[in-house]
Structure 1
């Protein structure tokens, strides 16, 4: 587990990091919710096919800058973001509560990993 900061303000929420191909493919599938957020590394798009709940999706560039934030209902396919390198997923409504919006920087706080 890790935590993350938004524009320099730490969010005391659990953050799972999906670094392997298998973990990225699985994502939040099969879950009824998520406590905190999931970071999909090396990812520029997501889908919600087979998901049980709506999610907020933040597309991050290589420095952790938020390129876009979208809410996706189950059964949707998101368009790829050309400059995106990571995708942050959380339950719908969470990104607004945390202050994650276009232009802010998200930094992962974990030993040995993190954009920026």
Structure 2
């Protein structure tokens, strides 16, 4: 599972580490987190390319991080519940994590996601 760093825009916070599973095929993006009961802390699913998500048939709420082409955080949709939809037109990719992870890791708009492995 690839590792990524969250480089915080403010610069005064230490980088946060994430373990991300990549979903880059149409089937993997469509399936998303369906079938998962939960996600461990610090883990997520990176959907590329993607600018919208659905939580149909999901079992738990998620935090959605929308990224631009430079992997900068454009927008965060926290606590997206089962059966909801979310969209961010300018986004190039999306990271889905368990609800509350963005707050726990202090991820905010302007932060940079950088793959390290």
Indicate the TM-score class for this superposition, using the shorter chain for normalisation: 0.7 to 0.9
Does 2:35 match 1:30? yes
Q: Distance in 1 between matches of 2:33 and 2:96?
A: 8
Check whether the contact 1:58–1:69 (CA below 8 A) recurs between aligned residues.
Answer: yes
Check whether the contact 1:6–1:99 (CA below 8 A) recurs between aligned residues.
Answer: no
Partner of 2:93: 86
After TM superposition, where is structure 1 displaced by more than 4 Å over at least 4 residues in a row?
Answer: none
Partner of 1:75: 83
Any idea what SS the aligned residue of 1:100 has? Answer: coil
TM-score (norm 2): 0.86
Any idea what SS the aligned residue of 2:86 has? Answer: coil
Check whether the contact 1:3–1:10 (CA below 8 A) recurs between aligned residues.
Answer: no
Instruction: State the Cα distance separating 1:10 from its structure 2 match.
Output: 4.6
TM-score (norm 1): 0.87
Range with bigger deviation, 52-61 or 2-11: 2-11
Q: Distance in 1 between matches of 2:83 and 2:69?
A: 28
Structure 1: give runs of 5+ residues left out of the alignment: 111-116
Structure 2: give runs of 5+ residues left out of the alignment: 9-14
Query: What is the root-mean-square deviation in Å for CA atoms of aligned residues?
Result: 1.2
